[in-house]
Structure 1
Amino acid sequence: MTREDLLARLGQLLAERRADDGPLGVMLVRLQRLREFRIAHGFAASERMAAAVRELIGEVLRPGDELHQIDGGEFAVLLPRLRDRNHALLAGNRVLRIFQSPVRLGQREMPASTTIGVSVAPDHGDDAETLLRRAEIAHGVALRGQERCAMYADGTDTALIPYELLRDAITGNRLEVHLQPILQLDSGTLFGAESLARWHDPERGAIPPCEFIPLAEDTGLITELTRWSLHSSLRHIAQARRHAPDLGLSLNLSPRVFGQRDIVPQIMSSLEIWGVPPQAVTLEVTETALMEDPALSLRLLERLRWEGFHISIDDFGSGYSSLAYLKQFPATELKIDRAFVTDLQRDPRSQQLVQSIIDLGHHLRMGVLAEGVEDEPTLELLTRMGCDRAQGYFIQKPQPASDFISTLDRQVA
């Protein structure tokens, strides 16, 4: 069933609902990490897993409840004639409990995890679009909280971004690329720029990446966002390299795309379209992301490194990787977490940690970049400590790509 079909069916139930029927619940259920399961066990196994999950959900529903599979491991449950709004939350918790035990697939038992968002009419809306959007918002709360089943709470619309709004912004090319310069410290020259996605919605204003990127990762929109980011960033950096031929590009890579079989060909195709060599591109992956699935991360990064890309371990020092894994990952750069850089002038222990990271990186033949440089004394101290590169507001804030390119043009002229 498509989302349009679901909206039509929900609208029909709302139109047929009488005042004495009781509340109508909408429950979004998503099977987590299905993409990783597909990579590990194959497409057929993932289809069997989704079918088994659908069957298990159906077993705990009431007669008259409607279960619809929207996509892969995503399901919508329509709950007519509830006693009250808490009745919908109880239904969600019943679904959660059935996945406390592994799911049986033939002769094998496989663990499964779900997250659930719930909204209820008329309390949370009286039209299909609003109810589904608010169930989506509740699902986002469940993903980010300790409870894996959440009901929509009044007033959270402004805090969480609707799925449809982000989807339309990506497909409608309404996001922007901003570029932040990266400085080579020993020479004081421009080394490259980091590409950062920015979103300004006409009604909501500026929406920070810390809100829309997790939503993209949680809902599967990260695939479309990555494709947009690749093409848009490479288009701008190709133009910038006409003024500065050695300019490099740093681009963040979400762990949610690691399992895509076509991610490397997709990146290579984008490079070919815009005429940017892989040696000019540094792909940044957070330390924590690498450790979500070290084996998968290692395979992907080795292939990307073989193609000629540079690999940066972002936010280094904030995660939990071991030196054993650090030795295995084919990284070319350590990027020091801004939390250590911000305190560099005031905290001797931060100085010791930063110096240790710089020394570690150099011993492993990696470059070291410090982010979050906000004043001149910090920049000078990092230079004396032997740090290779730096970025931060003191050097320059992220700016629209067109402004960045115009600045390069004036410098060359």
Structure 2
Amino acid sequence: MDTQQTDAGPDDTGPVGGDEASAPRRRSRFDRRSALVVLQTIALGVLAVLVGAPFVGVPASQPELHLPWWVLSMGFAATEACVFHVQTRREARTVSVSELPLVLGLFFAAPLELLAGRLVGSGAIFVFHRRSSLLKTSWNLAMVSVQTAVAVAVFHALSDLADSTSPLSWIGAYAGPMAANCVGAVALALVIAVYEGSMRPGELLRDVVNGEPAAPVVITLALVAVTSLTVSPHSVWLLVLTGVGLLLGYRAYASLSDRHLNLERIYRFTQAVSTSPEVDEVLGSVLAEAKELLRSERAEIAFVASPQSQVAHVRLGVSGRLTRSEEPKSAEDRWLLDQVVEDATALLLPRTTKDAVQRRWLDAQAAREAVVVPLRGGAGVLGVLFVLDRLGDVRTYDKDDVLLLETVANHASVALQNGELIDKLRHEAMHDALTGLPNRALLQRRMTTALEEVADGRSAGAVAMILDLDGFKEVNDTLGHQQGDKLLVEVAARLTTAVGTAGMVARLGGDEFAVLLSGTGDEERAVHVARRVLRSLEHPIALDDMEVEVGGSLGVALAPAHATDAAVLLKRADMAMYDAKGGGKGLRVYESDLDSKNPRRLTLVAELRGALARDEISVHVQPQARLDSGAVVGAEALVRWHHPELGVVPPDEFIPVAERSGLIGPLTTRVLDASLAAVAAWRAAGHPLGISVNLSTRSLHDADLVEEVSRLLRRHDVPASALTLEVTESSVMADPARATALLHQLRDLGVRLSVDDFGTGYSSLSYLKRLPVQEVKIDRSFVTSLQAGGEDAAIVRAIIDLGGHLGLEVVAEGVEDAAVWELLSTMGCDVVQGWHLGRAMPVAEFAGWLATRGTATRPTLHAVS
């Protein structure tokens, strides 16, 4: 039994390990693998010449009966035409009974005639019947040449030791073809290694040792024919009939064996898909089995995603990877779906098709051939299942392949319907019945997975948010549960739209919802999404003939910053939500102080919120003057809180509380409003002064700050240049990129910018020239000890020189006596602020202070009493 490798060329071999879903087929590219095959072909040809050269001119072993080369060529053509195809990994392997004419040629033909007959007969089949490429045909002819030369060499080496009719010649007849088969097995393994990328020595050794099991039987029949022809040449007709029957019988047996194997595979496939509850697993099994059963390079399922334009594709290609895509319906897709889905019939597109429409579809798929069958579901035909490009070059798809793929599709349809039922039950167990959102169980499962990815380093972080509706109970109690349910459904839809693809929205129960963001632990992005969620609730919700308004309080917790356990992360998001609910603005990011049970902190949060609502927060101002002339040019706003029971609450105590509780926004707005109102009053009284207001670190994270400043400037009709906003080094360095961007927006508004407490940070010198500031303020800790000289004096002088070189105005705060004033004047400082000029005072007293100060160029101590 002889074997030939018939898929040796690169033109029909798909990419190994690539993404076959999108890779076009390369039919004519001559690559490195093709070059290796050419080298193998040349090596086989040279080996054939070396082995066969000694037998050129040697006569037939039994010249009494001469078989001409053309008779042998017909015998080899017949055995090559009636073959059995075996798949060896990605290669198609052709098995024939060519030992029969080979043994006859060893006895009744000269070696050169035997070689010519085999090359002509086999070559005719390769070219005209199988339509192999030039490279494949060349490789196969080179291999049969070396096989023939080896068979002749072994046969003559044994038969020449005795008479040609002795049993020793029979041994040569066995040994020659079997040695040739071993050579073929080695050559086949080498060419497979070229395309597989590796050699499997164990498999090669097994093929060489086992050989072809049926070869001895075929050789025995050939020796019977030799004996019969030697006795009576007229028995040739009987032998021809016997040989034809043998070929047909063997081919029928091979076909039956192949069908039996397919039935066994279908049985195993049916068991596999019937026990798989997952639709994705079923799809993977269906495509893998379709590829294997029909020996195909690619398998694909196309679902009709929408009636208008979309087709969903699930693909399994050469690499075994399952890929999905949703693509617009092309003209070729429309034709295919009309043919298969609408008519519910299978479609066979062999590589020999001449139909122009079929060929266009194949070209669009970058394929040579295909089988397409409908995939049915409970509601009719869902889509199509098809395979593309049979492996090897010796067979194309036929009607039996259509029936086989239809069998796979029928089993797949039943499995998919079962999987859909199980998926439906699972969906109901993991989703809220009213809104359709994921429930708490699914949220915790997804959150656990997200946190595992964070722990493994596969994800940057995760964000948990908990939202509680404000005013839902009143709607439920007043309008009834039916209207309350409608409201929850509408809220769920708005939240889903607001979050979009950024994360998952879940309903925890009642009027409580949750949001999970995976793949990020960035607070800025989390706050951005959280604000989008809250904004989605700002518009009224229509319930029958009336509209209702609901708000929300939202808490945010980040992983891994705040927790790495799902339960703890949810708890801390819940704590932040409850803090936000009492905070006024509705949004709170978790901080560690929320775990504190400090009564003072809890009291301050509640009282500060009330103080803002009752307008109990006041603004004091401290004047600023030019150092050279003593002229007052403005003042710094200082926030004050005098509590009726707690007394004076220091700013360094209540401002951090405001930052942590989410009240810093309202507090900043209150200070800005009062400060700009004061500037407007001063200007109306003939004092064109400016004012400086401090911004906290949290304010630099507030995306609404620019709009708020602009609104207040318009409200009080104050020019932007009259407002100076002070930021500290630490607030800028907490997030330089974000802070710089916001400062540029404020500068574009026309507001002046100042760096407060300059010199106390550690890296702002490198950022100073990048920041859009016009002023730096020397921290009072350097100024108060200026007279002592030493390092503080050197630092103050360096800051003043730096400001001068950068074109910045330098302000010194904490000037408490005339000596420091004079010292700063000699250093070239621009503006001063401190008790020597004036103490902090209520806004209402500032105009009187200006009047009593008059036009003095240098303040005196009595002026600040």
Give TM-score scaled by structure 2 length.
0.33
Query: Which residue of the partner structure matches residue 36 of structure 1?
Result: 524
Task: Sort the Cα spacing of 1:195 and 1:380 in 2 relative to 1 into closer, same or farther, 3 A.
Answer: same
Query: Which residue of the partner structure matches residue 817 of structure 2?
Result: 375
Deviation at 1:43, TM superposition (A): 1.5
Please give the residue correspondences for 1:111-130 in structure 2 after superposition, counting only pairs within 5 Å. none
Partner of 1:403, secondary structure, is: helix
Please give the residue correspondences for 1:355-366 in structure 2 after superposition, counting only pairs within 5 Å. 355-366=797-808
Deviation at 1:37, TM superposition (A): 3.0
1:286-315 per-position Cα deviation (integer Å, ceiling 9, x unaligned): 110001111111111111112211110001
CA–CA separation in structure 1 for the residues paired with 2:818 and 2:685: 27
Please give the residue correspondences for 1:239-318 in structure 2 after superposition, counting only pairs within 5 Å. 239-318=681-760
Q: Give the letter for the 2:553 counterpart.
A: D
Aligned length: 316
Task: Sort the Cα spacing of 1:177 and 1:2 in 2 relative to 1 into closer, same or farther, 3 A.
Answer: farther
Question: In 1, are the aligned partners of 2:555 and 2:574 still within 8 Å (CA)?
Answer: no
CA–CA separation in structure 2 for the residues paired with 1:338 and 1:196: 15
1:346-394 per-position Cα deviation (integer Å, ceiling 9, x unaligned): 1421000000000011111100001111222111111111111111122
Is 1:71 paired with 2:513?
Answer: no
Greater helix share, structure number? 2
Question: In 2, are the aligned partners of 1:169 and 1:175 still within 8 Å (CA)?
Answer: yes
Query: Which residue of the partner structure matches residue 406 of structure 1?
Result: 848
Question: In 2, are the aligned partners of 1:38 and 1:46 still within 8 Å (CA)?
Answer: no
Is 1:330 paired with 2:818?
Answer: no
Task: Sort the Cα spacing of 1:345 and 1:5 in 2 relative to 1 into closer, same or farther, 3 A.
Answer: farther
CA–CA separation in structure 1 for the residues paired with 2:815 and 2:639: 20
Task: Sort the Cα spacing of 1:256 and 1:113 in 2 relative to 1 into closer, same or farther, 3 A.
Answer: farther
Aligned equivalent of 1:230, options 666, 672, 684: 672
CA–CA separation in structure 2 for the residues paired with 1:304 and 1:45: 21
Task: Sort the Cα spacing of 1:2 and 1:194 in 2 relative to 1 into closer, same or farther, 3 A.
Answer: farther
Partner of 2:637, secondary structure, is: strand
Partner of 2:680, secondary structure, is: helix
Task: Sort the Cα spacing of 1:245 and 1:150 in 2 relative to 1 into closer, same or farther, 3 A.
Answer: same
CA–CA separation in structure 2 for the residues paired with 1:36 and 1:47: 14
Query: Which residue of the partner structure matches residue 827 of structure 2?
Result: 385
Please give the residue correspondences for 1:132-211 in structure 2 after superposition, counting only pairs within 5 Å. 142-143=592-593, 151-152=596-597, 157=599, 161-211=603-653
CA–CA separation in structure 2 for the residues paired with 1:100 and 1:294: 26
Partner of 1:203, secondary structure, is: coil
Task: Sort the Cα spacing of 1:45 and 1:185 in 2 relative to 1 into closer, same or farther, 3 A.
Answer: closer
Partner of 1:328, secondary structure, is: coil
Considering Cα pairs closer than 8 Å and 6+ residues apart, tell me whether 1 or 2 has the greater RCO: 1
Task: Sort the Cα spacing of 1:250 and 1:163 in 2 relative to 1 into closer, same or farther, 3 A.
Answer: same
CA–CA separation in structure 2 for the residues paired with 1:272 and 1:97: 43
Query: Which residue of the partner structure matches residue 52 of structure 1?
Result: none
Task: Sort the Cα spacing of 1:243 and 1:315 in 2 relative to 1 into closer, same or farther, 3 A.
Answer: same
Q: Give the letter for the 2:739 counterpart.
A: S
Gaps of 5+ in 1: 7-32, 49-69, 76-94, 104-110, 119-131, 134-138, 144-148
Question: In 2, are the aligned partners of 1:244 and 1:408 still within 8 Å (CA)?
Answer: no
Deviation at 1:259, TM superposition (A): 3.0
1:147-188 per-position Cα deviation (integer Å, ceiling 9, x unaligned): xx8553xxx645775211001101210011101001110111
Query: Which residue of the partner structure matches residue 793 of structure 2?
Result: 351
Q: Which moved more, 1:214-223 or 1:160-169?
A: 160-169
Task: Sort the Cα spacing of 1:411 and 1:188 in 2 relative to 1 into closer, same or farther, 3 A.
Answer: closer
CA–CA separation in structure 2 for the residues paired with 1:214 and 1:244: 37
CA–CA separation in structure 2 for the residues paired with 1:202 and 1:5: 35
Deviation at 1:97, TM superposition (A): 8.8
CA–CA separation in structure 1 for the residues paired with 2:561 and 2:748: 44
Question: In 2, are the aligned partners of 1:374 and 1:394 still within 8 Å (CA)?
Answer: yes
Q: Give the letter for the 1:404 counterpart.
A: F
Partner of 1:241, secondary structure, is: helix
Question: In 1, are the aligned partners of 2:729 and 2:764 still within 8 Å (CA)?
Answer: no
Partner of 1:318, secondary structure, is: coil
Q: Give the letter for the 1:261 counterpart.
A: A
Deviation at 1:275, TM superposition (A): 1.3
Partner of 1:182, secondary structure, is: strand
Partner of 1:255, secondary structure, is: coil
Query: Which residue of the partner structure matches residue 262 of structure 2?
Result: none
Task: Sort the Cα spacing of 1:352 and 1:280 in 2 relative to 1 into closer, same or farther, 3 A.
Answer: same
Q: Give the letter for the 1:247 counterpart.
A: L
Partner of 1:173, secondary structure, is: coil
Question: In 2, are the aligned partners of 1:96 and 1:114 still within 8 Å (CA)?
Answer: no
Task: Sort the Cα spacing of 1:113 and 1:372 in 2 relative to 1 into closer, same or farther, 3 A.
Answer: farther
Query: Which residue of the partner structure matches residue 62 of structure 1?
Result: none
Question: In 2, are the aligned partners of 1:248 and 1:280 still within 8 Å (CA)?
Answer: yes
Partner of 1:199, secondary structure, is: strand
Deviation at 1:257, TM superposition (A): 2.2
1:16-46 per-position Cα deviation (integer Å, ceiling 9, x unaligned): xxxxxxxxxxxxxxxxx9862346xx41698
